[in-house]
């Protein structure tokens, strides 16, 4: 009888040891310096319209989104301690995706405007840009004022579209012919429209025109004048997501201080 009772506690001890071993092998949770469990990293969905090179485009080799904005938001996420997935989406669906919860961030070369501020919360500015115009070499259009009475191609509901509308109003107020504005769905479409003769000029963000010229060296397109507006891009978020606002601005400030932002800028735009 004594031998039987001695075996029972030994079996119990062995079973408890095995259970403890199984628990450890299942994978430890992330812990902080005090050995306490940390909460899993927040995962956010960022969206952009991938025809706006060099800010966002579809990489031909991988079929995945690439570009300055894509690299930027991943760098911000790493610096601020959250995870991010970047998805391609139509331009006119971006803010709606925020409002429905399909996305948490719009990172798509989006200019901070008074109208957009009514709908979303922007991060601190991360890029200075401006609207410019381009024509085919040999065009009689030499200055911005020469656009009066001409047809311009723009991407719909962008600051290029808004700039064209303001120019149209300005010309009419001055007693000149207004603009005929062709509003197209994608940024790449406006250059095709100029190429086939459907427009006299294109109005678009200066870096986007410059990228098109770099990628199409045989084109006869020129930029006669510097940008005629000054704009700042921001990352759009829902107004109520204060924790996300803080994370994004923290990450942006960190990569600017560390030199990572400058590294990305030089990769896509060269030295300032």
Superfamily in which the 131-229 domain is placed by CATH: Periplasmic binding protein-like II (3.40.190.10)
Q: Residue 272 — pLDDT band, cuts 50, 70, 90?
A: low
Number of Cβ within 10 Å of residue 220's Cβ equals: 12
What local confidence, expressed as pLDDT, does residue 162 receive? 97
What local confidence, expressed as pLDDT, does residue 8 receive? 42
Domain with CATH 3.40.190.10 in the chain: 43-129+232-269, 131-229
| Average pLDDT of every residue of the chain | 89
What local confidence, expressed as pLDDT, does residue 18 receive? 42
What local confidence, expressed as pLDDT, does residue 40 receive? 74
Helix boundaries (H) for 199-238: 206-215
Residue 227 CA to residue 247 CA, distance in Å, equals: 32
Q: Is residue 73 over pLDDT 60?
A: yes
Q: Can you give the C-alpha Rg of the chain in angstroms? A: 27
The pLDDT of 118-140, averaged and rounded, is: 97
b/e sequence 81-111, b meaning 16+ C-beta within 10 Å: ebebebebbebeebbebbeeeebbbbbbbbb
CATH dotted code for 43-129+232-269: 3.40.190.10
15-72 pLDDT per residue, tens: 444 444 433 333 344 455 555 556 678 999 999 999 999 999 999 999 999 999 999 9
Residue 89 CA to residue 96 CA, distance in Å, equals: 11
Q: Write down the pTM of the prediction.
A: 0.82
82-109 pLDDT per residue, tens: 999 999 999 999 999 999 999 999 999 9
Residue 153 CA to residue 266 CA, distance in Å, equals: 29
What local confidence, expressed as pLDDT, does residue 36 receive? 57
């Amino acid at each position: 009888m004594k031998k039987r009772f001695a075996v029972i506690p030994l079996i119990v001890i062995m079973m408890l040891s095995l259970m403890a071993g199984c628990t450890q092998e299942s994978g430890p949770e992330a812990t902080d310096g005090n050995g306490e469990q940390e909460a899993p990293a927040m995962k956010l969905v960022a969206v952009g319209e991938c025809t706006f090179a060099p800010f966002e485009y579809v990489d031909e080799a991988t079929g995945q989104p690439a570009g300055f904005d894509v690299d930027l938001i991943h760098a911000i996420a790493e610096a601020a301690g959250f995870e991010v997935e970047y998805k391609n989406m139509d331009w006119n669906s971006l803010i709606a995706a925020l409002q429905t919860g399909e996305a948490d961030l719009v990172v798509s070369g989006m200019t901070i405007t008074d109208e957009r501020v009514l709908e979303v919360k922007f991060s601190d500015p991360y890029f200075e840009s401006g609207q410019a115009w381009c024509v085919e070499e040999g065009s009689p259009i030499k200055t911005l004022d020469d656009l009066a009475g001409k047809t311009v191609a723009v991407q719909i509901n962008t600051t290029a579209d808004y700039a064209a509308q303001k120019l149209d109003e300005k010309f009419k107020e001055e007693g000149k012919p207004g603009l005929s504005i062709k509003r197209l769905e994608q940024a790449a479409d406006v250059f095709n429209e100029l190429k086939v003769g459907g427009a006299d000029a294109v109005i678009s963000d200066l870096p986007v025109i410059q990228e098109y010229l770099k990628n199409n060296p045989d084109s006869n397109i020129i930029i006669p004048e510097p940008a005629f507006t000054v704009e700042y891009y921001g990352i759009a978020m829902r107004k109520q997501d204060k924790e996300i606002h803080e994370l994004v601005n923290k990450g942006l400030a960190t990569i600017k201080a560390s030199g990572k932002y400058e590294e990305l800028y030089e990769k896509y735009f060269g030295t300032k």
